[in-house]
Amino acid sequence: MNSIEQTIKEFPYQLILGSNSPRRQELLKSLGFDFLNKPLNVEETYPVDLLAEEIPLFLAEKKADAYDDDLKENEILITADTIVWCDGKAFNKPANFVEGKKMLETLSGKMHEVFTAVCLKGANKQTTFFDVSKVYFKKLKQEEIEYYLTNYSPYDKAGGYGVQDWIGYIGIDKIEGSFYNVMGLPVKELYEELIKF
């Protein structure tokens, strides 16, 4: 067993992922750590004066604060939040087709930033960090937007799209930064922070 395998297999903490997101569950599983999933239902509201990365940092901590059980000494709760930031405003999850269409029309032909913040909370310690990626969309055709929204229902995704979905295949020119951060979890940073914790 090499040292990395040993570090992951013998990781001294029980990880608890407080997320409804299947993408976050899949990414954490792919890192190799065992974890329990305990989704948290938190109203994703935040003070109106927050900008860019301040929003997901606030929401990741708000989700961690909503965890009801007392954390044991050997447990780490992981919560996260992702927003799309374009033209000086935040794009969260679209409520319906019309909202999703407006979002994708705004992102079309432009660069936007995706901020994901993660909060790690232990019994006596808490750390919060974020990553940012720049995503460049081609000019999307109306029929591409409508086809995507009708067939892929991206209503649980910030900005109204999933980078790993059809729209990502046909619509994204390039990404500067982490692809996985755009999916909803900056796994490189998470791995490093867990090892430090």
The per-residue pLDDT string of the chain (197 residues; one tens digit each, 9 = 90 and over) reads 678 878 787 788 999 999 989 999 999 999 998 999 999 989 999 999 999 999 999 999 999 999 988 899 999 999 999 999 999 999 989 999 999 999 999 999 999 999 999 999 999 999 999 999 999 999 999 999 999 999 998 999 999 999 999 999 999 999 999 999 999 999 999 999 999 99
Nearest to 151 by CA among 138, 139, 161: 161
pLDDT at residue number 69? 83
pLDDT at 51: 97
**How confident is the model at residue 1, as a pLDDT?**
63
The closest alpha carbon to 163, from 151, 150, 178, 147, belongs to 178
Calpha distance 153→173 (Å, rounded): 22
Give CA–CA dist 183/180, Å, rounded.
5
Q: What is the pLDDT of residue 38?
A: 93
**81 in active site:** yes
151 forms bridges with which residues in the sheet?
none
**Residue 143: phi, psi to the nearest 5?**
-70, -30
Q: Are 107 and 84 in contact (CB under 8 A)?
A: yes
Rounded Cα gap, residues 30 and 157, in angstroms: 20
**172: Cβ contacts below 8 Å, ≥ 6 apart:** 135, 136, 137, 138, 163
> One of 81, 87, 156, 165 is an active-site residue; which one?
81
Distance CA 93, CA 34 (A): 29
Domain spanning 3-196 has what CATH number?
3.90.950.10
Taking the model in full, what pTM does it have? 0.93
